[in-house]
Amino acid sequence: MTSFDNPGLFYQERFFATDEEIQDEGRELITEHKETVELFRNFIREYNVGGFGLVYR
């Protein structure tokens, strides 16, 4: 139990594939997240009626 307070440092290098044939799951997730955020922002802009009033139907 001498090293109980010292969990150590673990590092994993993260890289994005630059070759189109190699798929990088991390890059796809980031792209999907950015697209989802942009869709949500556009939705809010479209249905915003000034202030906090949102008209959906």
For residue range 8-50, list pLDDT tens digits in order: 666 555 555 555 555 667 778 888 899 999 999 888 887 776 6
pTM for the complete prediction?
A: 0.46
Q: What is the pLDDT of residue 37?
A: 92
**Rounded Cα–Cα distance for residues 35 and 37 (Å):** 5
Q: What is the pLDDT of residue 42?
A: 87
The CA–CA distances, whole Å, from 52 to 26, 31, 55, 57 equal 35, 29, 10, 15
